[in-house]
Structure 1
C-alpha cells in the first residue's frame, strides 16, 4: 500500500491522497480577479489526480498583493469569480484550497512577467506598503509601520476573506505566514523591531498570526485550516525551527489543523542550501516537537522521494509546485510509478493508463 496514495483527514475534510499542489503565483489577474488562465491552470491538476489544489497567494486586501497582477478576495465580486474554478476542482474529486495572504513590505512589486524589478511606483499603479517596522526589504520601498488600528484591520481583512472563500465553496484555507510576507515579518526579529505588545518576545511577535488564526477559524469553522510557516530564515538572528514549533503549538490550540512548513524569503542576504527535499528536515522537526500534522515542500519532484518522506514519518503529506507545472498529471504518473491502485483516473484518459496499473 502506498502511503502517498492513502487518504488523509485534516480537520473536517478528507483528501483522497497526500500529493498536493502548492500555491504558485501566476501574475495573471486583473484587479485581483482570476482569469480564464487561472481556471485552466488550477483545474488541470484536479484532473491529474491531486488531493488538494491550492490557489496562489490570494490577497485579503488590495494593498496585500505581491504585485498588481495577483489574485484577491477582498470583495464579493472576487468571491463570485472564484466559484466556477472551485466547482470544477471539486467536480474532479480534489479538495479546493485557497491561500490567504498579505505581502506586507514585499507588496507593490513588479510582476516577473513584466520584465521589471523592484517596487512599482504609485504613478504606475503601485501603493504604500506596510510592515511591523519601517524596515525595507533590500531594493524595495520603505514600508510604513502598522499602528494598532492597522493591525486590527489586517485581522478583520483575513476574517472577511475567509468568509468569502467559504461562500465560494473552498474546502481548505491556508494562512500565509511564510516567505517574508506580513505575518512572517512580525514573527522574525530581523524585520520586527517593535517595542509594543507585537514586538520583542516570541509571544509578542506571534501575537498577530495567532489573532489571524483565531479570526479565520471563527469565520470558517467547517474548513480544513492550514498555516504556512518559514521555519528558518537562513540568516543569523532570524526565526528558528524551535521558535516555529512553539508558535505551531499555539496556533494548533487556536484551531489550525495542519502546518505547511517551508523556509526563507525574509531577507535578501539569506544563504539558502538547496537540494531535493532540502526543507523536509524542518517539517520533520516541527512534527516531532509539536506533535501536529505537517506537510513538506521544496524540490519534492518524484514519487519515490515523496513516498520515502512519508514512510520515514517526516511529514503527513507533500506539496509540489514545479513538478506539477512540468506534468499536470503528476499524481496519475506517480500512482503508476508506485504501483498504487487508484480509482480516480478520468474516464476520458483510461486508454492511456498502463495495463499493469489497471490490474494492480
Structure 2
C-alpha cells in the first residue's frame, strides 16, 4: 500500500490523522517567568487544523536553560495551567500535540546570577558567556529536572514529548566531540558521550510510562570535520531505540557554521540515513515546502512524517494547501 501525506500515522500507540507535523519554532512571546500566554493559545490553535501533530517550541526544563529570556518553560508547577490551555486549543482543532523539552546548555541566556552550564567550558561564540563545565552533581540535578518536566507535561495534557538533542543545545553538546571534552564518564568515547542523553531519556521514560510517546530530535551533521556524521548519529539512535518511539532529524547548530547549500529538502538524505538504520518512525524536516516533494518523502519511505516550519508562520493554512484542502475557518 502506497503511503501519502493523507495516510494516518502512529507514534507509540498514539494515532495521528495524517503525516504532516508542525515543526517547533521559537515564538519569543513567553513572560519573564517563562509562562505561555494567550498568544501561544491562538498561534498553535490556529495552525493545528490540518496537521496530524503539533510540536510546540523549545520549552525549558530549567530556568538557567532558557534559550532566551522570552522563552517558555516547564520548570515549575505554575507553568502547567497556561500550557494546558495551549493543549486544549490544539485538541479542539483535531490535532495531537507534543512538548519539546529543552536545555540550551552553552547556548542559553541565563540571568546574571544563574550558572551557564555545558559539558565543557567552551563558549559558542563571542556573543555568549563562557560556560561552566557541569559537575556530576549538577548533571544529576538536570536529569531530575527533565524527569519532573516530563511529569508536568503529562499533567498539562500533552500527548507526548520530544527531547531536544539537536541544534547545539545541551543534549547535543554531550553527543558531539566538538563540545564535549570531558575526561570523566560523560566524555571521551562514544559510549561515554551518549551517557548523559541516555540517562535523561531513561529518566523521562520511567516517569511517563511505556505507552506515552517519547521521541528525540537530533542533528545528523555538525558541519564540522571534527563533529558528528549521519551514520554516527544513527548509531546513537540505535542505542536509544529501546527508550524512544520516533526520531526527528535535523542538522547543524553545534557551532556557528551553517550549511553551504540549503536547497529544498536538503536534510532529507539525513533522515533517510537514520531511517535505514532504525525501525522507529522518522520525521524529516527542512525546506520541504512543495506537495510533490513532501509526498515523495513518505511514498518512497525516506521518512514516515514531514515537519513544516517557517511556511506555517507566514501562512497558517499552509499544511492544508499541501493536502489540497480549503483554508480552515478562523476561530
TM-score by length of 1: 0.87
Q: Distance in 1 between matches of 2:10 and 2:239?
A: 21
1:119-198 matches, cutoff 5 A: 122=112, 127-139=114-126, 140-198=128-186
**Deviations along 1:305-336, whole A, 9 cap, x unmatched?**
11011112110001110111122112222221
8 Å Cα contact 1:234/1:272 also seen in 2: no
The corresponding residue for 2:72 is 71
1:54 aligns with 2:55: yes
Mapping of 1:267-306 within 5 angstroms? 267-306=255-294
Match of 2:219 among 230, 241, 266: 230
1:247 corresponds to which of 233, 236, 247: 236
| Matching residue of 1:27 | 28
Aligned pairs, how many?
Answer: 326
Q: Which runs of 4+ in 1 moved over 4 A?
A: none
Question: Are 1:86 and 1:96, in contact at CA under 8 Å, matched by a contact in 2?
Answer: yes
Deviation at 1:223, TM superposition (A): 2.2
Cα shift readout 1:61-80 (whole Å, capped 9, x = no counterpart): 10110011000001111011
**Structure 1 partner of 2:39:** 37
Hey, what's the Cα distance between the residues in 2 that align with 1:264 and 1:52?
24
Distance 1:275 1:92, change over 3 A: same
RMSD of the alignment, in Å?
A: 1.7
Contact 1:131 1:182 in 2 (8 A): yes
Secondary structure class of the residue paired with 2:5: coil
- Contact 1:226–1:258, Cα closer than 8 Å, also in 2: yes
Contact 2:186–2:196 (8 Å) recurs in 1: yes
Aligned residue in 1 for 2:107? 106
User: What residue in structure 2 maps to residue 357 of structure 1?
Assistant: none
Deviations 1:223-272 (A, max 9, x none): 2111000010001110111111111011112x200000000001123544
Give distance in 2, aligned partners of 1:286 and 1:262: 11
Structure 1 residue 214 corresponds to structure 2 residue 202: yes
SS in structure 2 of the partner of residue 155 of structure 1? helix
Radius of gyration: which is bigger? Answer: 1
Cα distance in 1 for partners of 2:261, 2:240 equals 28
CA shift at 1:210, angstroms?
Answer: 0.8
Contact 2:264 / 2:287 at 8 angstroms: preserved in 1?
Answer: yes
Q: TM-score, normalised by structure 2?
A: 0.95
Q: Is contact 2:283–2:306 with CA below 8 Å preserved after alignment?
A: yes
CA distance in 2, matches of 1:261, 1:181: 15
Q: Answer yes or no: is the 8 Å Cα contact 2:3–2:298 preserved in 1.
A: no
CA apart distance, 1:273: 2.5
1:84 counterpart residue number: 85
How far did 1:190 drift? 0.5
Give deviations 1:176-216, integer Å, cap 9, x for gaps.
00000000000000100001110011110001111111111
Distance change (3 Å), C-alpha of 1:69 and 1:243: same
